[in-house]
Amino acid sequence: MKKVMPIIASTIALSSFAGIAHAEDWSTNESGLYIGGNYGYLKVDSDDDFDDNNDVWQGLIGYRFNEFFALEGGYTDFGSYGGNLANAETDGYSAAVKGILPLTDSIEFFAKAGQIWYDTEYSVAGVTGSSDDEALFAGAGLNFKLSEQLLLNAQYTWYDAELSADDLDEDSDFDTNFNQASVGVEYRF
């Protein structure tokens, strides 16, 4: 809960700031390339000792085809998580489709879904190994336009990950969900 409070406070602050921002018509050109970055809170839900809370960061690059649709790629570092008996470190690359719904001239709702290809290095009871896998993910959030090019965002993303610890035995699969709440920036070219 300690880590959730800063995210909630940041989201409220972003909402307040976006409400105060100019209500100009910034929709002159809604297509083009954008880059972004997010930082936030990660909750790892698992049926085993991999349960943990952690920081997560993400870098993104995307292309908006119009004000309603974009394609997005990214790199996410989920960091280290787990306990003394079982721990892991995961990072990966993602591709997603993103739907955008302008709510006002300065606030947009977005939802995205895609796939992540991730690599996990793990240690379970002293046995170490690595695993490459892929998973589906979905997310939603809000963009707050500060100018035509600079946006702040708050978002939640769920990843349906599975850790395959083949070095332990053939059937050592750990069903693990990553739940990410983050804030970030986006710059449109």
pLDDT tens profile 46-77:
666 666 778 999 999 999 999 999 999 999 99
Q: What is the pTM of this model?
A: 0.75
Place 29 in a pLDDT band, splitting at 50, 70 and 90: low
| All structural domains of the chain with their residue ranges | 4-22+33-188
Give dist(CA 111, CA 14) in Å, integer: 18
Give dist(CA 7, CA 183) in Å, integer: 7
* Euclidean distance between the first and the last CA atom of the chain, given in angstroms as a whole number: 37
Q: Does domain 4-22+33-188 have CATH number 2.40.160.20?
A: yes
Q: Which residues of 60-96 are buried (b: 16+ CB within 10 A; e: fewer)?
A: bebebeeeeebebebebbbbebbeeebbbbbbbebeb
Give dist(CA 71, CA 64) in Å, integer: 7
Hey, which bits of the chain come out as E strands? 32-46, 52-64, 69-82, 86-102, 107-124, 127-145, 150-164, 173-188
Give dist(CA 161, CA 177) in Å, integer: 5
